Homo-oligomer: A and B are copies of this chain.
Amino acid sequence: MSADLTRNQALVMKTLSGAEAPLSAYTILDRLRGDGLRAPLQVYRALEKLTELGLVHRLESLNAFVACAHPNCHEQELIAFAICEDCGKVEEFSDDVVKDRLDGWTRSHGFRPAKTTIEIRGNCGGCAGKA
């Protein structure tokens, strides 16, 4: 189960869970120096494992990481992210129609998909109003 994380994994997970916005690996490292972490690799290794477990997602367009918003987000399904460039808030959603359309394209083109990234950058409702 996801309960038996190692010390470093748990530290990184706690940091991401408590964050209001995506964090870079180095930001995580800085927040964990007080807990004894010293090298980027300690964070990257934990992130790799947490991502495998589906507890953390990497945002490619940000080079940053975010805790999964769902209780048990299965890796299988296609996840889309809406990322606010002002406040950093990330919303995570999935859409079967989008998944079907992309699956249709890959199937008809003989493309074998491994991982799909959908990231919408912009402004969330709160921040768009303020503009």
Tell whether, in the assembled complex, residue A111 and residue B122 are in contact, meaning their CB atoms are under 8 Å apart.
yes
Rounded to whole angstroms, the CA-CA distance of A110 and B125 in the bound complex is 4
Copies of this chain, tallied across the complex:
2
Closest Cβ–Cβ distance, residue A114 to chain B (whole Å):
4
Interface residues on A, range: 20 to 34
Q: Indicate whether A101 reaches chain B with its CB closer than 8 angstroms.
A: yes
* Residue A128, interface by CB 8 Å: yes
Residues facing B in A85-131 (CB within 8 A) are 85, 91, 93, 95, 97-98, 101-102, 105-106, 109-125, 128-129
Chain A residues with a Cβ under 8 A of chain B? 60-61, 80, 82, 84-85, 91, 93, 95, 97-98, 101-102, 105-106, 109-125, 128-129
